Each structure stands twice: as C-alpha cells, then as structure tokens.
C-alpha cells in the first residue's frame, strides 16, 4: 500500500503541473531567514525523474538571497477536490547547467519575460505600480532546483485519514504516521 501511495504522490507532482488548472501547478515555497520562516506562491515548472522540483525566479529576488544563505526549504501543495496535501522538503540549489538553463528559459512565453527584466530588483519600493522600468539587455532568469529529501502525504478521508512519509535516505520505503 505504501508503494502505491508513493506512486500516486509522485505522479500527482510529476504530471499535475502540466494541466493548466491542476491545483499543484501552484505551490507555496517556504525558506528561512535568520530562523524566521518566509513563504511565497510559486509555479511548479517541472519535476525531474530524480524527484527534483523546478521553479523559475528572478536571480535578484529575496528568495534567492535567502536560499543561498540557507538552502533548506519546504514546499506545500493542496488539492481541494481530492483533499490531498503534499509536503516536499530538501535543499535548494541554483541550476548552473547552461543547456538545461536554456531549455527552461525557452519555455518563458511572451510578456512573461518581464518578470525577469525589471530595471530595479524585485522588492524595491516604488511610488506607483505603473512606474516599473524594464531593461531588455539583462535577463535575470534563474532556475531553483529543490532536491526532495522527504515527501509527506496527507489524504483526508473517513474513517481514517492517511498520513505517510517517504525519505530519500530510506530509498522512499515510507511509513505511516498518526495524522
């Protein structure tokens, strides 16, 4: 049964984001800064066969600064129709492989490139939201790779909720937890 649950969790993450309206397309990425938790919504762009979650961001963003200082991170997913929660935790690194970076950057469509070319870095205070300036010369695109070390599922159902945890170090063997 644990093996089946692991496959389900893995499939939901690996293929869910491909569907535009799938709730796992969006997730909540938590990092830590001086022992303070910091969380934000991000789009899941890919999950590799080796269970690495892929996110795109601006290389000047606060999350990149924080994750360079402390790479530990957790991502939360919730599927309201299936009543399924998934948590994935591990260390985040920045993708450096040029070929892979180009592959992902080519997926950015049309005006979405604006997310990576603001003249001032993300989080810079501005007086008016219409006054954001862009610099086409410099694309601050980067790819965050969260290598999942632990994956936790919580399936809400009656009579028993099913909570499970799988760890890379245990070859994803898995165990049930009290919900």
Ligand X SMILES: Cc1cc2nc3c(=O)[nH]c(=O)nc-3n(C[C@H](O)[C@H](O)[C@H](O)COP(=O)(O)O)c2cc1C
Q: Binding residues for ligand X, per CB under 6 A?
A: 26, 38, 40-43, 55-57, 61-63, 122-123
Tokens found for residue 142: 């980067």
Q: Least distance in Å: CB of 109 to ligand X?
A: 13
CB nearer to ligand X: pick between 14 and 62: 62
- What SS3 class is residue 82? coil
CB nearer to ligand X: pick between 41 and 128: 41
44 vs 16: CA distance, rounded Å: 9
CB nearer to ligand X: pick between 65 and 154: 65
Report whether 9 contacts 163 (CB < 8 A): no
- With residues binned 3-state (H G I as helix, E B as strand, rest as coil), the percentages for the chain, rounded to 5, are 25, 40, 35
Eight-class DSSP state of 17: T
SS (H, E, C) 81-142: CCCEEEEEEEEEEECCCHHHHHHHHCCCCHHHHHHHCECCCCCCCCCCHHHCCECCCCCCEE
Q: Least distance in Å: CB of 58 to ligand X?
A: 6
Q: Least distance in Å: CB of 70 to ligand X?
A: 13
Q: Least distance in Å: CB of 66 to ligand X?
A: 7
Q: Least distance in Å: CB of 179 to ligand X?
A: 28
CB nearer to ligand X: pick between 18 and 177: 18
CB nearer to ligand X: pick between 31 and 164: 31
């Amino acid at each position: 049964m644990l093996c089946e649950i692991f496959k389900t969790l893995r499939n939901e993450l690996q293929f869910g984001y491909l569907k535009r309206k799938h709730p796992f397309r969006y997730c909540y990425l938590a990092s830590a800064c001086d022992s303070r938790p910091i969380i934000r919504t991000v789009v899941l762009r890919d999950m590799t066969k080796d269970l690495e979650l892929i996110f795109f961001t601006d290389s000047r963003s606060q999350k990149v600064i924080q994750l360079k200082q402390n790479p530990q991170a957790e991502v939360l997913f919730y599927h309201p129709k299936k009543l399924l929660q998934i948590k994935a935790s591990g260390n985040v690194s920045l993708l450096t492989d040029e070929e892979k970076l180009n592959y992902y950057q080519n997926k950015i469509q049309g005006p979405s490139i604006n997310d990576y070319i603001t003249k001032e870095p993300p989080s810079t205070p501005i007086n008016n939201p219409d006054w954001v300036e862009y610099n086409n010369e410099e694309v601050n695109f980067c790819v965050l790779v969260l290598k999942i070390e632990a994956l936790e599922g919580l399936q809400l159902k009656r009579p028993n909720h099913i909570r499970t945890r799988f760890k890379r170090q245990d070859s994803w063997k898995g165990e049930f937890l009290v919900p």
